[in-house]
Amino acid sequence: MRIYLKQNVHDAAIERIRWLMSEFNNVIVTCSGGKDSTVIVNLVLSVAEQMNRLPLKVMFIDKEFEWQSLIEYQRRLLNDPRIEPLWFQAKIQVYNSHNHGHSVVCWDNENRGLMRDYECNSIRQNIDNAVDEKDFFKKAIRYFFGKEPACYISGVRCEESPSRNLGLTTYETYKGVTWGKVRSKEQYDFYPIYDWTFFDVWKYISEFNLDYTPIYDLMYQKGLPFNQMRLSSLLHSLSVVHIFYLHEVEFDTWNRMTQLIHGIHSTKQLREETVSPKELPFMFESWSEYRDHLLEHLIQNDEDRAAYRKRFEQFEPRYLPEAQHDLLRTEISTLLNHDLKFSKLASFEATHAKQLYNRGARSGRSKDVGEKKYRIYR
C-alpha cells in the first residue's frame, strides 16, 4: 500500500539522509556513475556539508569494461574536494553476458591487456579475496569500519524494477524503515530516493544544473525507452541492448572490447528481438521446447546449466496456466542474456505476485500443477 506524505520527494529524501547521518557515524555513498548515483551523491553532500560531516566517502567499484564517458564523469565527480574517493580497480569476477558460460576477471593485467590504464588514485587491492561485486560490497564495509555500526547510502529506486518495489516497501530494515537492506547485525544499505520517479531524477539534475554522464543524451537521441536508459558495466545483461550501437557513440571503447571480450561481435549481430523474443522461432513447436533447446545447447557450463534448471524448476509450480506463457519467455530471455543473477525472474515474480503467485497452493492444487503440468525436466 502506498502512503503519500505531505512533502515533495526532494524534501523527504533530505529528511531521510539527515536522519541516517544522525543514526550512523560511519557512512559510505556508493556511486556507479549513473543518473541515480549523481542525485544521491549530491543530496548526501548537501546534508553532510550542513552537518559538518565532510569529507564524504564515495565508493565506485570500477569493473573495467565501462563507458568511457562514464569514467570521465567519475573523474570529475570524485575530484570534488568535499569527497574522499574510494575508486576500486580490483580483480573481481563479473559475468560476461556476451559469452555464455564464461566469466571475466576485471583488471587481470597478469593474463591479458586492459581496457585502459589504472587511475592514479585508485585502490587496486582485492579486499579479503572477494569473489564478485556483491561479495566485495559485503567485505568492504567491514574493511573500513570493522563491526561498528555503518551503512551504505545508494541511489536505488523502486521504479526501475518490480522486485525492488516489492523488497523496498514490504519488510522492515531498521527502526521501522523499509527502504533498505540488512547486511549484518550492525550494517545496512539504505535507499533514500527509493520513491523517486525517472522524471524526479532528471528534474533535480536540471534544476540544480548538475554534471552527469553524457551517454544519457545519446540514449535519448537514439530513441531508447526510459526503462532502457540505464548504465551498468558493458558486460552486464542490462547492457546488451547498448552493444548494438556502442560502435557509433564510443568507437574506441567498442574497438578495445572486441580485442578483449569473446562473444562481443556475436552480440552486435543480434537484434533486440533475438535476446528477448516476442515470437516463437518457426523451428520449435512450443516455448518450452525452445527453452529446453537453449538450455542444452547454448549453455556450455554444466554448473551454470544446473543452476538454471534448479531455478526454473522452483518457479514453474508456483504459477497457474495464465502465467506460464510469460514465464517461459522470461526463462528464455534469462538464458539468452546469461542472467545468472536471475534478475529477470525476480522482476517477473514481483510483477505477478498479487495476481498469480501461489494461487494453486491456496486452492490446494499446487502439487498436481507442479508435478503434472509444469514439471518439464525429467
pLDDT at residue 309, rounded to an integer:
92
* Residue 254 pLDDT exceeds 60: yes
Domain assignment present for 328: yes
Query: Which residues form the domain of 107?
Result: 9-199
Number of domains in the chain: 2
Q: How many CB atoms lie within 10 A of CB 335?
A: 23
pTM: 0.77
Q: Could you read off the pLDDT of 41-94 as tens digits, one per residue? A: 999 999 999 999 999 999 999 999 999 999 999 999 999 999 999 999 999 998
Q: Assess whether 132 and 16 both reside in one domain.
A: yes
Looking at the DSSP bridge assignments, the partners of residue 188 are 151, 182
Looking at the DSSP bridge assignments, the partners of residue 87 are 60
Strands 180-182 and 187-190: antiparallel
Give the strand order in the sheet containing 56-61.
83-88, 56-61, 27-30, 150-153, 187-190, 180-182
pLDDT at residue 358, rounded to an integer:
47
Instruction: Please state the rounded mean pLDDT for residues 224-246.
Output: 80
CATH classification at residue 130: 3.40.50.620
Domain assignment present for 82: yes
DSSP, res 339: -
Residue after which a domain boundary falls, among 199, 230, 252: 199
Three cell numbers at 360? 494453486
Domain assignment present for 310: yes
Q: Assess whether 19 and 129 both reside in one domain.
A: yes
Instruction: Please state the rounded mean pLDDT for residues 256-270.
Output: 73
* Residue 377 pLDDT exceeds 50: no
Domain assignment present for 216: no
CB 13 within 8 A of CB 43: yes
Domain assignment present for 151: yes
Domain assignment present for 122: yes
Domain assignment present for 88: yes
Provide the pLDDT confidence category of residue 371 given band limits of 50, 70 and 90. very low
In angstroms, what CA-CA distances link 24 with 43, 145, 188, 252, 271?
17, 11, 10, 43, 47
Q: Assess whether 188 and 78 both reside in one domain.
A: yes
Instruction: Please state the rounded mean pLDDT for residues 192-213.
Output: 95
Lowest mean pLDDT among 130-134, 253-257, 315-319, 370-374: 370-374
Domain assignment present for 254: no
| Dihedral angle over CA of 163, 166, 171, 175, nearest 10 | 100
Residue-averaged pLDDT of the chain:
84
**365 vs 19: which has the higher pLDDT:** 19
Report which of 84, 76, 11, 21 is spatially closest to residue 48, judged by C-alpha positions.
21
Three cell numbers at 244? 548494438
* Residue 22 pLDDT exceeds 70: yes
Three cell numbers at 265? 561481435
CB 260 within 8 A of CB 112: yes
Provide the pLDDT confidence category of residue 190 given band limits of 50, 70 and 90. very high
Residue after which a domain boundary falls, among 147, 171, 199: 199
Q: Could you read off the pLDDT of 316-362 as tens digits, one per residue? A: 887 777 788 888 988 988 888 777 778 788 777 766 654 555 444 44
In angstroms, what CA-CA distances link 377 with 88, 256, 309?
42, 41, 8
Residue after which a domain boundary falls, among 183, 199, 215: 199
Backbone φ and ψ of 223, nearest 5°: 80, 20
The percent of residues above 90 in pLDDT, for the chain, comes to: 48
